[in-house]
Amino acid sequence: MALLLCAMLILFLLCTSHEVSGLISLSSPLSADIGQYVMKVAIGTPPQEFSLILDTGSDLTWIQCSPCPGCFNQPDPFFEPTASSTFSPVPCTNSFCRAFLEDDRSFMCNQSNTGCNYQYGYEDGSLIRGELAYDVVSLPSEDSASVALSTVIGCIHNETMPDFANADGIVGLSRGLLSLPSQFSNHSVAHVFSYCLVDILSRGSISSRITFGGEARNPAAALTPMIFVPGSDFYYVEVEGISIGGRRIGVPTSTFHPDNADLRGVYLDSGTTYSQWRTEAFTPMLAAIRQQITYQVVDAATTHALGVDLCFDVSNELESNIILPDMVVHMRNVEFEIPALPNLFRILDGYACLLMTRSTSGISLIGAAQQQNKLIVYDVENKQIGFLAAQCGTAGPQ
């Protein structure tokens, strides 16, 4: 059934897209803003430009559409569906829409409701409500010519999301059928993408690129298998252990193995700022960090007010003299190095604060802060993820 629905969707997308011959690669500027990363995306005909948050932990790409009563303020005008000649609602009767009635989303279709309306929830409890629609997404190709590809997007008319500050919505990058890389792969774009995250506090002062297609691959990247977990579209990796300050901590490898029944596993999530680790891993991590750092631990009330789990008082030290341990996530075939500054700790008002938290869901993830200054390649076609240290936003791989 799933294969039949996928084939029907692919047929529709190929028949309605602008004609594209041969394999192509696309890219877009990428920058940091208040703990998140945003890329430029143009949607519709004529194109309307938006800044969307990169989220490898979700599949749906969505924007706020006019009218949108109660929606959060955004830097760009709401998307105007009536102004796009290529906008078309996904009908409720479409088998692609109805296939998601059994998913974890809530799709609402009935005789009085002809559109594919849905309610989509996130782990933080926020909700978005809208309709699925077909329209074109335009990005520059490798020769800088803009290429428009027909995609399915979420057109939001109601939500309970927090204000995104300088972003207009989310671009879904997971392995799900609705994600942008998955849909692009139906348009002569190889199912692979890469990004290089700049310093998370750069606030748009520097930028790098996100690339879709064959140009995203880099032969110098160290490769680890992409672990597929039934029922999940996350990008899981096989973690074999953790080191703090060059010392391996005592965490059983079973803690990191994907297991649906017990919510184990570790995945990459660009849409979450700080890494989260299940208690069985996080507790020994904290113990190892405390053991290796001689600075005074900041009281819990102050630490929690800063939105983190652990801080040290370094107010009497020059930042250049502060000594903090690095961290290494040992993956199969890859040593994922997390430098103390600025990836593992951040200096805030005289405190050195750990940029990792305890997972409330039981699943562990590597967040955006720990992915800074690395080229990360998600090669779904070859079922592997690549890593390469880089100075993102400057000379080097981007």
394 within some domain: no
Residues 168 and 285 in one domain: no
Residues 61 and 124 in one domain: yes
pLDDT tens digit sequence for 290-339: 999 999 999 999 999 988 999 999 999 998 999 999 999 999 999 999 99
398 within some domain: no
CATH number of the domain encompassing residue 296: 2.40.70.10
Three-state DSSP class for 388? strand
318 within some domain: yes
7 within some domain: yes
Residue 355: both structure tokens together: 């940029």
pLDDT number for residue 394: 61
Per the annotation, the verdict on 269 as an active-site residue is yes
Residue whose structure tokens are 């890389």: 181
Residues 325 and 345 in one domain: yes
Amino acid (one-letter) located at 324: L
Question: Of 33, 168, 269, 379, which residue is the catalytic one?
Answer: 269
Cβ proximity of 380 and 333 under 8 Å: no
pLDDT number for residue 8: 33
Cis amide linkage into residue 342, ω under 30° from 0? yes
Other Cβ atoms within 10 Å of 134 Cβ, number: 17
Burial of residue 43 (CB within 10 Å: 0-12, 13-18, 19+) is buried
Report the C-alpha dihedral over residues 282, 288, 292, 295, rounded to 10 degrees. Answer: 40
Element (H, E) at 15: helix 2-16
Residues 206 and 281 in one domain: no
Q: Return d(Cα 306, Cα 300) in angstroms, integer.
A: 10
Residue 380: both structure tokens together: 């779904």
395 within some domain: no
Report the C-alpha dihedral over residues 158, 270, 272, 222, rounded to 10 degrees. Answer: 160
- From 215, 234, 266, the end of a domain falls on 215
- The residues of the chain scoring below 70 in pLDDT are 1-22, 95-96, 98-113, 142-144, 162-163, 260-261, 394-398
- Provide the total of helices (H) and of strands (E) in the chain, helices listed first: 5, 28
Residues 366 and 324 in one domain: yes
C-alpha dist (Å) from residue 380 to 1, 29, 179, 216, 231: 22, 22, 12, 12, 16
Beta bridge partners of residue 24, listed in sequence order: 189
Number of domains in the chain: 2
Per the annotation, the verdict on 55 as an active-site residue is yes
Neighbouring residues of 149: CB distance < 8 A, sequence distance ≥ 6: 13, 17, 18, 20, 136, 137, 138, 183, 184, 187, 189
SS percent in the chain: helix, strand, coil, step 5: 20, 40, 45
Report the C-alpha dihedral over residues 67, 68, 69, 70, rounded to 10 degrees. Answer: -170
113 within some domain: yes
34 within some domain: yes
Residues 316 and 372 in one domain: yes
Residues 268 and 323 in one domain: yes
Other Cβ atoms within 10 Å of 389 Cβ, number: 15
Residues 191 and 226 in one domain: no
Residues 366 and 345 in one domain: yes
Amino acid (one-letter) located at 264: R
- From 215, 242, 257, the end of a domain falls on 215
Residues 105 and 192 in one domain: yes
Cβ proximity of 327 and 282 under 8 Å: no
- From 186, 215, 244, the end of a domain falls on 215
Other Cβ atoms within 10 Å of 326 Cβ, number: 16
351 within some domain: yes
Residues 20 and 143 in one domain: yes
Residues 116 and 183 in one domain: yes
Expressed as residue numbers, the domain containing 248 is 222-389
Q: Is the overall model pTM greater than 0.85, yes or no?
A: yes
Question: Of 33, 55, 59, 135, which residue is the catalytic one?
Answer: 55
